[in-house]
Chain A
Amino acid sequence: MALLMDTRLLLRKVKDLRSLTPRRHRVKEKWATTRAKCPASSLALQYFDANYSAHLGELWPSVRVALLSERKYGALLNNFSHEDVLADLQARGCRDFINDTDTEAQPCSEEKSETCLEEESNNLPVKKPDIDDQLLSPLKLSPNIKCVVFPRGDLTRFKPARPDMERLLGYYLMDAASVLPCLALDVQEGHNVLDLCAAPGGKALTLLQTQAIRFLCVNDSTASRTTRLRKVLHSYLPKHFFTEKNLRITTFDGTKWGEIERNTFDRVLVDVPCTTDRHSLIEDDNNIFNKIRTGERRKLPQLQLELLLAGIQAACLGGEIMYSTCTLSPIQNLSVVEQAVHLARENHGISVEVVDLRPLTHMFRKTFHFAPDLHLGEMVIPHLAANFGPIYMCKLRRLT
């Protein structure tokens, strides 16, 4: 009996060793001689048509055409590079949408409240200052983050960043809407921050730009993703950053974080794996809508829920957790957050409250299009003139 058990275990191990690559990687589009009869991107499109037209209603055609068209990038400026990239980019016509004083309302800190209200009253004379104060004062953003974009409707592309004298790149090209969850996370001086699903590293890099983090822990589930994350960080951060005290890069299963490090972090970013809507419509390689990956895709909401719960557990008392995805699907967005809040209370006795992000959407309404009437969280939806997103974000604060 014992022997049989052993051989069975042994066989399982041998099988594992044999399959060096996951099944989905065994057939590569670029090596195939004919196109698949029904490619994964078409399946994705059919799925979205069936589901999102009900969810978004009248907005769906506009979102659909934007998703199928070329996306718009933003350039996240690298504060550690000494080159004056900002001036150069601004000369080409970009503007920093976060710190632009002309068009957006500034975040109201104590000193700036006067000027802030003045600006508001200049733009919208009808609004009463009291409401503004209430609306805007709770909102605090992570400092020092700078991201430039070309103006609305402008289709110019960014040139790739070039290394400066210290071999650091001047800016990182990413979807400008991805900066919003990091801004809203409100990283303050001396915080310990955890990024549960950090690869490829755009959001982690954004968090590091604040230069306010005492200790950043970045994690991802597989080694290849972590390697990519490491490469990105090495291209943008000076060598002195990579010490044990500042930065920790790990390759653990994020769902287990509740057991590993409980009640530790001031801020947690949970940027979960999702169906990556935009990517699924364009690329057929590694597309999650591939028939072979159906099981994986069906289990996504469960995985997302577990990751969020782990993030909630990892946060300390009063700590804030930011849940973000890059899909429009309510099953992966609202439902996951609702269930997580519920389960946190039921199973772990942790109560969390949802932080209102409306001040953020109000502030950036001129740069991004936000989905109206979302009862939980905020979502950037793609639009031809502002082809950013889709990004869903929801902020939770741990109360007990």
Chain B
Amino acid sequence: MGTTVAARQVFRWTVRASSSSLLSPPLTSRCLLQPRPGLFCSTSSRSPMQSSQHNHPVSPVSETPVTELSPQSLADMGFTGTQAEQMLETASKARGGRAARHALSTLTALLALGLNPSSVLKLLQKCPEVCSVKESQLQQRVGNLRKLGLVEGSLQRVVAHYPQILTVPVKTVKHVVVLLREKCLFTAPQVTDILRESPAIVLGDLAQVEFLFQYVYFRMGVKQAEIIKSRLFRYSLDEVRCRHCFLERRGLYQTPDKKGQTIIINPKLDSILNVDQMTFLTAVAKASVEEYDVFQRLVAKEWLEEEKEQGSINVDATYSEEEEDEEEETGGRSGYIKTRKRTI
């Protein structure tokens, strides 16, 4: 699973890199993307950009159209001198041609959201791709987030902390929301909570998200309310699985039976995930660092071998092949199947 996710991520990054490198200006030394012998490099629209970069921000550039990004226009919007400089730098890191054309409108839209200029700068530095988002698209996406419940205050916070959410098309967000509501049976407020606390979920692989939920719901017996409280989707499947398996094999965590009962009291998901490793080991697992270190390597090996055995496609089967448990695995699996039938 891990390898296919990674492969997909790499594919996504290479696509982005290749498409953006075709348009990036080869001149700027600080440009992170490698220039390629560009067949599609449009140099014409970039000349004002270049001149505006090389000029001192104080002296105005002649013949700069109003729609172009320039120190003057930035100053108008409320950016200080240094901020404007940094802004132009960041804007050039994004896809050069498009950024120049509609960066200004994008910036205006961002400011209209209620973010102050320094936050907008930080946002763009975190995620220069936002510059390349068209203003209409931006409005659409922001509107969608509002509809999902991210109202004033939380919307700004989410955008400021995770600007990548604005680069994700509405459809993708919709898919994620559908998954959370229909397959994972979260309520609408809960979905809003998830988007607010773990916005990176929108860029995640849907199959992985679903698998993580299933693991936590059936294997760990944790229900939706606790999942929300523990901000599960901030963590990767491997982290959650590793900590859970460690506790389970130590006998400190039990999968609840069909009636939801366990012989011991399971530690809360919050206390397992939302703590750093040292606290986890001393307070919850009561083990030494050496043990956990060896365990992580051991269990990573086991999972790799399992994957090889079954093929990474069959998500349903893998978690039932895990090592010795006391729980009735057949019970857990049939429980999941029942849920599916209910929703369909």
A62 in contact with B250 (CB, 8 Å): yes
Q: Total A-B pairs in contact (CB under 8 Å)?
A: 63
B295 in contact with A65 (CB, 8 Å): yes
Collect the chain A residues with CB atoms within 8 Å of residue B330's CB: 35, 37
Collect the chain B residues with CB atoms within 8 Å of residue A35's CB: 329-330
Question: How far is A42 from B291 in the complex, measured between Cα atoms in Å?
Answer: 24
Interface SS of chain A? helix
Known A-B contacts A37-B328, A61-B250, A282-B324; A70 and B290 likewise in contact (beta carbons under 8 Å): no
CB distance from B13 to the nearest CB of A (A): 31
A384 in contact with B302 (CB, 8 Å): no
Known A-B contacts A45-B324, A64-B249, A155-B301; A69 and B291 likewise in contact (beta carbons under 8 Å): no
Collect the chain A residues with CB atoms within 8 Å of residue B239's CB: none
A69 in contact with B251 (CB, 8 Å): no
B291 in contact with A383 (CB, 8 Å): yes
The interface size bin for chain B is 20 to 34
- Give the residue of B246, B286, B287, B302 whose beta carbon is less than 8 angstroms from that of A70: B302
What are 12 contact pairs spanning A and B, CB under 8 A?
A37-B328, A37-B330, A38-B328, A42-B325, A45-B324, A53-B251, A58-B286, A61-B287, A64-B249, A65-B295, A68-B249, A384-B294
Question: How far is A383 from B295 in the complex, measured between Cα atoms in Å?
Answer: 10
B337 contacts chain A at the CB level, 8 A cutoff: no
A46 in contact with B326 (CB, 8 Å): yes
Collect the chain A residues with CB atoms within 8 Å of residue B112's CB: none
A65 in contact with B249 (CB, 8 Å): yes
* Smallest CB gap from B305: residue in A: A70
- Give the residue of B285, B293, B299, B302 whose beta carbon is less than 8 angstroms from that of A153: B293
Interface residues of B in 275-328 (CB under 8 A from A): 285-287, 290-291, 293-295, 297-299, 301-302, 323-326, 328
Collect the chain A residues with CB atoms within 8 Å of residue B249's CB: 64-65, 68-69
* Smallest CB gap from B331: residue in A: A37
Question: How far is A37 from B298 in the complex, measured between Cα atoms in Å?
Answer: 28
A189 contacts chain B at the CB level, 8 A cutoff: no
B252 contacts chain A at the CB level, 8 A cutoff: yes
Collect the chain A residues with CB atoms within 8 Å of residue B291's CB: 62, 65, 383-385
- Give the residue of A41, A53, A69 whose beta carbon is less than 8 angstroms from that of B295: A69
* Smallest CB gap from B302: residue in A: A70
B324 in contact with A153 (CB, 8 Å): no
Question: How far is A37 from B302 in the complex, measured between Cα atoms in Å?
Answer: 25
Question: How far is A62 from B329 in the complex, measured between Cα atoms in Å?
Answer: 24
Interface residues of A in 37-77 (CB under 8 A from B): 37-38, 41-42, 45-46, 49, 53, 58, 60-62, 64-65, 68-70
B294 in contact with A155 (CB, 8 Å): yes
The 10 closest A-B pairs by CB, nearest first: A61-B250, A65-B249, A384-B294, A384-B291, A68-B249, A65-B250, A385-B294, A153-B294, A64-B251, A68-B324
Question: How far is A59 from B150 in the complex, measured between Cα atoms in Å?
Answer: 49
* B contact set with A: CB distance below 8 Å: 246, 249-252, 285-287, 290-291, 293-295, 297-299, 301-302, 323-326, 328-330
A42 in contact with B302 (CB, 8 Å): no
Collect the chain B residues with CB atoms within 8 Å of residue A61's CB: 250-252, 285-287
- Give the residue of B251, B299, B302, B329 whose beta carbon is less than 8 angstroms from that of A60: B251
CB distance from A389 to the nearest CB of B (A): 15
Question: How far is A38 from B302 in the complex, measured between Cα atoms in Å?
Answer: 24
A281 contacts chain B at the CB level, 8 A cutoff: yes
* A contact set with B: CB distance below 8 Å: 35, 37-38, 41-42, 45-46, 49, 53, 58, 60-62, 64-65, 68-70, 153, 155, 281-282, 383-385
Known A-B contacts A49-B251, A68-B323, A69-B249; A62 and B298 likewise in contact (beta carbons under 8 Å): no
Collect the chain B residues with CB atoms within 8 Å of residue A46's CB: 326
B298 in contact with A69 (CB, 8 Å): yes
CB distance from B323 to the nearest CB of A (A): 6
A62 in contact with B324 (CB, 8 Å): no
* Smallest CB gap from B291: residue in A: A384
Collect the chain B residues with CB atoms within 8 Å of residue A281's CB: 324
Contacts A61-B250, A69-B298, A385-B291 known; 8 new A-B pairs at CB < 8 A: A42-B325, A45-B324, A61-B285, A64-B249, A69-B299, A70-B302, A153-B293, A155-B294
Question: How far is A41 from B325 in the complex, measured between Cα atoms in Å?
Answer: 9
* Smallest CB gap from B297: residue in A: A155
Q: Which of B246, B291, B294, B299: most chain A CB closer than 10 A?
A: B294
Question: How far is A282 from B323 in the complex, measured between Cα atoms in Å?
Answer: 8
CB distance from A245 to the nearest CB of B (A): 47
* Smallest CB gap from A68: residue in B: B249
CB distance from B287 to the nearest CB of A (A): 7
Question: How far is A385 from B291 in the complex, measured between Cα atoms in Å?
Answer: 6
* Smallest CB gap from A157: residue in B: B301
Collect the chain B residues with CB atoms within 8 Å of residue A153's CB: 290, 293-294
CB distance from A273 to the nearest CB of B (A): 22
A70 in contact with B298 (CB, 8 Å): yes
A65 in contact with B246 (CB, 8 Å): yes
Known A-B contacts A35-B330, A61-B250, A70-B302; A385 and B324 likewise in contact (beta carbons under 8 Å): no
B298 in contact with A384 (CB, 8 Å): yes
CB distance from A75 to the nearest CB of B (A): 20
* Smallest CB gap from B290: residue in A: A385
* Smallest CB gap from B287: residue in A: A62
Collect the chain A residues with CB atoms within 8 Å of residue B298's CB: 69-70, 155, 384
Question: How far is A281 from B294 in the complex, measured between Cα atoms in Å?
Answer: 20
Collect the chain A residues with CB atoms within 8 Å of residue B286's CB: 58, 61
Collect the chain A residues with CB atoms within 8 Å of residue B290's CB: 153, 384-385
Collect the chain A residues with CB atoms within 8 Å of residue B325's CB: 42
CB distance from A315 to the nearest CB of B (A): 40
Collect the chain A residues with CB atoms within 8 Å of residue B287's CB: 61-62, 65
Question: How far is A271 from B297 in the complex, measured between Cα atoms in Å?
Answer: 33
CB distance from B310 to the nearest CB of A (A): 16
Question: How far is A58 from B246 in the complex, measured between Cα atoms in Å?
Answer: 16
Question: How far is A65 from B253 in the complex, measured between Cα atoms in Å?
Answer: 12
Collect the chain B residues with CB atoms within 8 Å of residue A60's CB: 251
* Smallest CB gap from B293: residue in A: A153
CB distance from B89 to the nearest CB of A (A): 47
